[in-house]
Amino acid sequence: MNDTQRIIEKAKQGLRISLKEALQLVKAASIHELGRLAYQIRTKLYADQAFYVYNQHINYTNICQNACRFCAYSKRPGQDGAYTYSIDQIKEAIKSRINEPIQEVHIVGGLNPDLPYSYYLELLKSIKEIRPGVKIKAFTAVEIAFLADKYDLSPARVLQELHEAGLDALPGGGAEVFDPLLRQKLCPEKISGQKWLNIHKKAHNLGIPTNCTMLFGHIETWEDRLHHLESLRNLQDETGGFLCFIPLPYQPANNNLKAEGPDGLDFLRMIAISRIFLDNIPHIKAYWVFAGIKAAQLALWYGADDFDGTIVEEKIGHAAGADTPRGLTIKNLCKFIEKAGFRPVQRDTFFKVRA
Ligand code: V47
Ligand code: SF4
């Protein structure tokens, strides 16, 4: 048995593999070997189920004081195309879909220096008033750090106050790649990887579960990717607060980073190694909006178990050239999962399955 086979056998038995072993796997194992192993792990956990959520995205502002090089979404104040939704506009957006059984509202936006702290609290409260049963997954760790800095509050206090106003979970955005040198090239103004991790840790300690992401397929190496995954796995060992990992394939259009984005095989290898390496994070999401529907269907065979949701109004990936629909009906979402050979199972933000 060679080294690669030995690592495959180890993971198959449910034993944790090291960063070095994971590197050996992604470099030496064939796509079939990686896929088979990741599929075995996901099937042991979830059989033929593939999860999805009935959700609505709201990107409340694209005005941002940062200028991450990969971002095609953000605008400077006053720039053509800059927008901020008023609380009334957000209420209208929620009311416009009140007859649909939406389970989750996902909210993220830019770091808009003109919005008062009360805007964020009111936004959450207004949504819960209109839809008391809905779960709100809102504001990346980057937005939380921005509010804490701007209003001279601790991140824990911001999280607590938002939680009291209706925040149920944090999305996983803003993680990008944790390596400091790479981060300097990708998003020099953004909070450090360590700070991103600390804010998630604080959220977990307050009982707020979170997701986590990694932006991949640009200028990073496999070493960078696996170090990033190792940081997530270490924090999860401490807190157990991550629900889901989402590898976000880089979308190359309309931004300042000169890179191509991952091809189909790279995407599948990334999904597979995520399932194999992150033995303590329950769910791996194939985010159809960024991956494309066809690649997301395939990813279910390569370790992913979640397809995300109906979305309707995605702006971040589409600004950077994603050519997927802006949203899917529940009927089509289920059809794509079934056609891929899996059983669609509706879940909420916490991955609780609807009775
Ligand atoms: O934080 C920005 C990334 C993120 C590009 O938690 C880009 O369930 C690819 O985090 N190419 C926002 N990615 C999306 C996100 C997310 C999406 C769906 C579900 C969840 C969840 C989280 O998108 C940003 C940034 O990391 N991003 N620009 C780009 N050109
Ligand atoms: Fe701003 Fe987020 Fe875009 Fe960076 S990725 S420029 S923080 S909106």
174 lines ligand 1 (CB under 6 A): yes
Q: Which helix (H) or strand (E) holds 337?
A: helix 330-339
For residue 239, what are the CA distances in angstroms to 198, 204, 231, 232? 11, 6, 13, 11
Instruction: Please report the pLDDT score of residue 313 as a whole number.
Output: 81
Instruction: Please report the pLDDT score of residue 312 as a whole number.
Output: 85
Give tens-digit pLDDT for 194-239.
Answer: 999 999 999 999 999 999 999 999 999 999 999 999 999 999 999 9
Looking at ligand 1, which atom is closest to the CA of residue 211?
6
Instruction: Please report the pLDDT score of residue 355 as a whole number.
Output: 65
Instruction: Please report the pLDDT score of residue 1 as a whole number.
Output: 79
The average pLDDT across 326-349 equals 96
Whether 149 contacts 157, CB under 8 Å: no
Looking at ligand 2, which atom is closest to the CA of residue 142?
7
71 lines ligand 2 (CB under 6 A): yes
Residue whose CA lies nearest to ligand 1 atom number 28: 71
For residue 282, what are the CA distances in angstroms to 45, 63, 315? 9, 34, 27
Domains of the chain (ranges; CATH) run 19-346 (3.20.20.70)
The average pLDDT across 323-328 equals 88
Separation between Cα atoms, residue 177 and residue 268, nearest integer Å: 18
295 torsion bin: left (phi>0), alpha (psi -120 to 50), beta (else): alpha
Looking at residue 189, its amino acid is E
187 lines ligand 2 (CB under 6 A): yes
Give tens-digit pLDDT for 73-90.
Answer: 999 988 999 999 999 999
Q: Is 324 a residue whose pLDDT tops 80?
A: yes
Instruction: Please report the pLDDT score of residue 54 as a whole number.
Output: 96
Residue whose CA lies nearest to ligand 2 atom number 7: 66
Give tens-digit pLDDT for 29-86.
Answer: 999 999 999 999 999 999 999 999 999 999 999 999 999 999 999 999 889 999 999 9
Which numbered ligand comes closest to the C-alpha of 250? 1
73 lines ligand 2 (CB under 6 A): yes
Distance in Å, CA 83 to ligand 2 centroid: 14
Q: Where residue 182 falls among pLDDT bands split at 50, 70, 90?
A: very high
82 lines ligand 2 (CB under 6 A): no
Q: Where residue 326 falls among pLDDT bands split at 50, 70, 90?
A: confident
- Which is more confident, 321 or 302? 302
- Which residue from 60, 63, 68, 115 has its CB within 8 A of the most atoms of ligand 2, so it is best to mutate? 68
For 316-349, b/e burial (b = at least 16 CB within 10 A) is bbbbbebebeebbebeebbebbeebebebbbbbb
Which stretches of 106-192 are DSSP H helices?
A: 117-130, 141-150, 155-165, 180-186
Instruction: Please report the pLDDT score of residue 226 as a whole number.
Output: 98
pLDDT averaged over every residue in the chain: 96
Separation between Cα atoms, residue 306 and residue 288, nearest integer Å: 10
Q: Is 245 a residue whose pLDDT tops 80?
A: yes
pTM of the model: 0.98
Work out the percent of the chain whose per-residue pLDDT is above 70.
100
